[in-house]
Structure 1
Amino acid sequence: MVAPGDQRVGADRGSVRSPARWPLHPQPAALESMSSWLQGLARLYGMRLDELLGPSLGALAGAGNTLDYDPPQQLFPILAERTDVEIGRLRSMTMLGWAPWLFEVYPQPAHLAERVFANYVRRDSVLLTPACGAGPSVLKRPWHGPWLPAKALQRWCSRCAQDGVRGLMWELPLTIGCPEHHCRLQVRGERSGTPFDPNAGAPEPIPISEPLVTLESYTHQALTVGRVRLPARTVHAGVWFRLLRRLLDELSLSLTTSARSSADTLRLIWATAELPERAGISVWQPYEHLPWQIEERLLTAAAVAVRLIGDGTIRARGTLASLLRAPVHERVYDGDDPHRRPTTDPEYADAVSMTHAQFTAALSRWLDQARTQPEPAAQILRLLIAADPSPAGVIRARRALVAEGIPMQFLGL
């Protein structure tokens, strides 16, 4: 049997060619990382990863831990040919493929850190007005970009691990649970102090509950279909990632530097979440620099905040807050009564005529007052421009009133 990574002898003696497609090439699981998928393929053939890839692919891939981050571009078309997986799908199995949706740029040059932080995290707001939620803006330590911790998280989904699947996003502090199974991701060594081995029998899954389920369902939509159906409307995945990251930033800000109403809002969120204010942070740091235990508290508080905004318990004042509130129902005019007496009815016609005459007389008196008094003139002007407040509409309304003999100085001209 010829190994998938080996070369094969062609019809002409001495000619050598690579297989166009590996015989067995199961499709990757949802949100699976590149290294996890390729290692699964290698196990399928009973080979090591470097043996599966062979000299040519192995040289491109380099060390196995680079596959999930920034692999060479030449690797994608070769893998696409050998596995029948589209190049776009392969790219999404690496961090490189998530720029500019999840990341502004990947990998992020050090000199762009301040600019990316201001644009990605601080450009909009959710809970607080932009002025109240400014917060510290100087990054005192190297910041590699949004969602990228200094050290990758070692986490596993106990259900995915049974199939040998490792999710790409499990290394990022983006979710508390596995978005696919709604169970808590197990942190390496958090239970027994020893590394968690997915092949040694996965621990019992720990389900996550509301409001985390709702928050992480939004993130799952962003990761799988590229858009998120929020209470107000459907938005692009990039909008959701930036909204969530800004919300986490606002929750980490000091309450003493916020306006009273903003501080009260933040206190209510932390009290409802039954967590210490600011998740126990004493000195502000970017979310990505915090320990996972603190990040987990902030994500929990963010889920509570999304729920409180949605049900109207708190009044969020940020530029993106309206996305988290269902639009208020507006009554639509039912239309005229089809059984109303026609205007040909003499009694009805007299009533309409009398009402119209009274209205005309009242309007005539109002115009007379406006010709000699500025306040009635201003009232009529405001009434006319209410339907069309555009500059052209204001000009038309003023010209019409001047034609009725109202002085220009009464109309702000």
Structure 2
Amino acid sequence: MTPADAPAARTALDHSAHPPWPLHPQPLPGETLMSWLARTTALYSLINTADLLDGLGVDTSGVDLDRYTREPVLTALAQRGGSTAERLREMTLAGYTPWLLDSTDPSECDFDTYVHQFSVLLPPGLAMADRRRRTPAAGTWLPWVSKLDTRACPLCIDALDTDADIAVMMAHQYPMLTSCTKHLCRLEFCAVIPGRLVFWDRTPAGSDEHAPPIPVPAVVAEIDRRTAAAMTSGSVELVAGRVQAAVWFRLLRTVVDEVSTPLVRTGWWAKPLSAIWKSTGCSRPLRTSWVPFEQLPWDEQANVLFAAATAIIAVENDEITASGADACLLRPRRYEPVDPGTPPTGSRSPVPTRSAWDGVIAAIDAAVAAARVDSDAARSLFGFARTGCRTEEDVDELAYAFVELGIRLDWD
């Protein structure tokens, strides 16, 4: 580094040079980074966020900050906005790695690994040629990332206080979620000026009000609920148990690909696939044969997700035959009786083995106890024991033993 380069390096790396903005609203839960920056920009009556970012010492031109923001930029923004780099990273797509996707760099995302590592409806090796037709060129694909269009829930916007800021929600901008999990209505396309206004695409001509919200089927609402839980809590509760968010997103993407398979490629399994699409009332978009889900128009994506949601719920309810290796994740665990084992005893010591001598010893103890207090019992016991004596010395030793036991032999 030359001396001339030193000032520029300090500008880019020394974040103490970035004092807090006098006005900086706090990020809202689930908000995108660009939405927060736009709300901040509005406080200063600036034209665009580029004016706000001027002076950070890093080049942000041509960069989608909602997808990936470099660490120097995050650090500078955190200091300017009174937040932390970790909090701001969560407002970008990069904050959802590796749960939602492996990387925000398409060259590091492998289509086959992400989409086909599971199998649910179809056997793992079925229709491989058809799957290759949908495989995008290397380095051009990110899972669940489509052409960015802003979506929002009209009922959520209507429920805001008049002085509340309008924000763009991160989860609403990607096609794995089609509805508002609070109001169970479809997310609507719109143009948002964060903090100020919303212009709805479905506003009737000559009207200031948007069209009535569109309710979503119950199966779509349930799958969207799980997807939202995966994004916020990192796990999903399935009938077979809890799975990590990364498993859920890849499992859902697998079913999306399976319901996109042409029936002529599936053989016997065409019957359950046909039943799935028939129950939705929608026709399978023809372009799903050669175009990955992320490149479909939004309305076709919604139909495919409807079919995938229908399939998942049908598998869980045992309404269709699922032949994939991982269909077990959507089924209740089978009841397996457990051997109750041997009931515990009062003592941890092993129970001693009883023998015939136990009764003999008890009888001797009882005879000795009786001989101590009864002269007849003493004489009888002494006479019985004397039968084993061969000499006078043996008799004397026996008499001494009786005395030691507390048995009198001088009874009157």
TM-score range, shorter chain: 0.5 to 0.7
Q: 1:171 matched to which residue of 2? A: 173
In structure 2, distance between residues paired with 1:256 and 1:267: 11
How far residue 302 of structure 1 moved from its aligned partner, in angstroms, is: 1.1
TM-score by length of 1: 0.66
Q: 2:195 matched to which residue of 1? A: none
Matched, 1:156 2:152: yes
Q: 1:254 matched to which residue of 2? A: 262
CA contact (8 A) 1:77 1:87 kept: yes
CA gap of 1:46–1:153, structure 2 versus 1, over 3 A, is: closer
Q: 1:78 matched to which residue of 2? A: 76
In structure 1, distance between residues paired with 2:247 and 2:135: 27
Q: 1:67 matched to which residue of 2? A: 65
1:72-221 mapped onto 2 (5 Å cutoff): 72-109=70-107, 116-134=110-128, 135-138=130-133, 142=137, 143-149=140-146, 151-161=147-157, 163-179=165-181, 181-188=183-190, 191-192=202-203, 204-221=212-229
In structure 1, distance between residues paired with 2:133 and 2:289: 13
How far residue 192 of structure 1 moved from its aligned partner, in angstroms, is: 4.9
CA contact (8 A) 2:171 2:228 kept: no
How far residue 314 of structure 1 moved from its aligned partner, in angstroms, is: 1.4
CA contact (8 A) 1:61 1:72 kept: no
1:190-211 C-alpha deviation (Å, 9 max, x unpaired)? 53588x9xxx766544343411
- What residue identity is the alignment partner of 2:277? W
In structure 2, distance between residues paired with 1:145 and 1:217: 23
Q: 1:57 matched to which residue of 2? A: 56
1:273-295 C-alpha deviation (Å, 9 max, x unpaired)? 2222x345474321112222211
In structure 1, distance between residues paired with 2:304 and 2:185: 18
Q: 1:268 matched to which residue of 2? A: 275
In structure 2, distance between residues paired with 1:190 and 1:255: 35
Root-mean-square deviation (CA), in Å?
A: 3.2
Three-state SS of the structure 2 residue aligned to 1:148 is coil
In structure 2, distance between residues paired with 1:51 and 1:105: 26
CA contact (8 A) 2:256 2:305 kept: yes
In structure 2, distance between residues paired with 1:203 and 1:86: 39
In structure 2, distance between residues paired with 1:66 and 1:118: 26
In structure 1, distance between residues paired with 2:342 and 2:99: 50
In structure 2, distance between residues paired with 1:230 and 1:258: 27
**Greater relative contact order (Cα < 8 A, sep 6+):** 2
CA gap of 1:38–1:120, structure 2 versus 1, over 3 A, is: same
CA gap of 1:136–1:55, structure 2 versus 1, over 3 A, is: closer
The runs of 5 or more residues in structure 1 that have no matched partner are: 1-16, 339-413
How far residue 100 of structure 1 moved from its aligned partner, in angstroms, is: 2.6
Three-state SS of the structure 2 residue aligned to 1:253 is coil
Q: How many pairs were matched up? A: 311
How far residue 94 of structure 1 moved from its aligned partner, in angstroms, is: 1.4
TM-score by length of 2: 0.66
In structure 2, distance between residues paired with 1:77 and 1:285: 39
In structure 1, distance between residues paired with 2:331 and 2:26: 38
CA contact (8 A) 1:60 1:74 kept: no
Q: 1:298 matched to which residue of 2? A: 304
Q: 1:21 matched to which residue of 2? A: 20
Q: 1:363 matched to which residue of 2? A: none
CA gap of 1:159–1:303, structure 2 versus 1, over 3 A, is: same
Matched, 1:240 2:239: no
